[in-house]
Structure 1
């Protein structure tokens, strides 16, 4: 029902979508997982042509990718360094027969952006600063990683072609290189839509 409604462009509340997850995952939703409405807006912007390849930088439990893959004609890839979250995301995709989504167990610094057309970034590195609840203790969290990961993303985005689209949510814009123009914003400036102009 959840994914069928998304395919039909019917509204889905976060509370309903989050029934896909365990209580421990639901508790993290407010700080770590993209709201359904935000995911739909971002995915619609990022998929500017059929089969557009969208990379979610730090996909967590796969919520953005699952919503985007269901509600657009794009192909979604989520990179996540926590293996249990990757397995969970894959399980949901397989259970609901969502074919145009793939979850990659990797650190972002091992991923080349050259394979993708558009990018989504819900400040997945912010956890390293330690200002709110951590997802778990399975990976190292250090302030220096926040800056090194942001630098890596910036360097990779520099190499993308003109016309590349990017959506950021709750970002401090450290990862956005020169050449990306802000097209418009939503949610009081928290959700930002970018396109590479030069």
Structure 2
């Protein structure tokens, strides 16, 4: 895929300081302005790798991967040691993710244009999500206006997501930032709870 976004010649090596501002500088302008609300902060990704590096991770899925920031930077931090899959149902965001993937030269990240509510990926050791149902809520800072926004749609999607998460294998982990859409998750126990970058960060274990 021909890279259509990057002409600045910037490169990053693990060990160099990474900031959200630096990462965002590689995004199209309209996605840069959404960064504080939609894309996972660098500090949260670094905290996640600190946990995963001691938790026997073999594969991870980002449910609603957006512009691919979480997946790509996590792969860089892990020295490309784990398989990472990003699921996103907006084609434009998948295209941006693929361009970022090419730029950062990550080899063990895949992006798929998939609605994870309809096609839930089973069998992975870890899952991540950053308030994945936000786009069905009547809030500000939405990515676009393509999705139905209503309380009934949100509750319907939340029920589907909870049922899907029960497909996770026992002892697998779900990592959430700003929640998954609810406060109680049947079939899971909380093993870590923190406040990071102004949001609630939780790690759940499938019972």
TM-score by length of 2: 0.83
Cα distance between partner residues in 2 of 1:40 and 1:55: 16
Give CA deviations for 1:42-67 in whole Å, capped at 9, x if unaligned: 244346336x2111111111111111
Give CA deviations for 1:126-175 in whole Å, capped at 9, x if unaligned: 12112212111344434333222222221122122221111111116528
Secondary structure of the equivalent of 2:122? helix
Secondary structure of the equivalent of 2:117? helix
Which residue number in structure 1 is paired with residue 99 of structure 2?
91
Which residue number in structure 2 is paired with residue 34 of structure 1?
40
Which residue number in structure 2 is paired with residue 18 of structure 1?
24
Cα RMSD (Å): 2.2
1:187 Cα offset (Å): 1.6
1:22 Cα offset (Å): 1.7
Which residue number in structure 1 is paired with residue 83 of structure 2?
75
Gaps of 5+ in 2: 1-9
Matching residue within 100, 114, 117 for 2:108: 100
Matches within 5 A, 1:117-196: 117-171=125-179, 174=182, 177-187=185-195, 190-196=200-206
- Structure 1 residue runs of 4+, over 4 Å off? none
Cα distance between partner residues in 1 of 2:139 and 2:48: 25
User: Alignment length, in residue pairs?
Assistant: 193
Gaps of 5+ in 1: none
**CA, structure 1 residues 118+2, in 2 after alignment: closer, same or farther (shift >3 Å)?**
farther
**CA, structure 1 residues 69+120, in 2 after alignment: closer, same or farther (shift >3 Å)?**
same
Cα distance between partner residues in 1 of 2:17 and 2:161: 32
Please say which of residues 165-174 and 33-42 is displaced more in the overlay.
165-174
Secondary structure of the equivalent of 1:149? helix
Please say which of residues 126-135 and 147-156 is displaced more in the overlay.
147-156
1:100 Cα offset (Å): 0.9
Give CA deviations for 1:2-23 in whole Å, capped at 9, x if unaligned: 641xx33x43111111111122
Q: Which has the higher helix share?
A: 1
TM-score by length of 1: 0.87
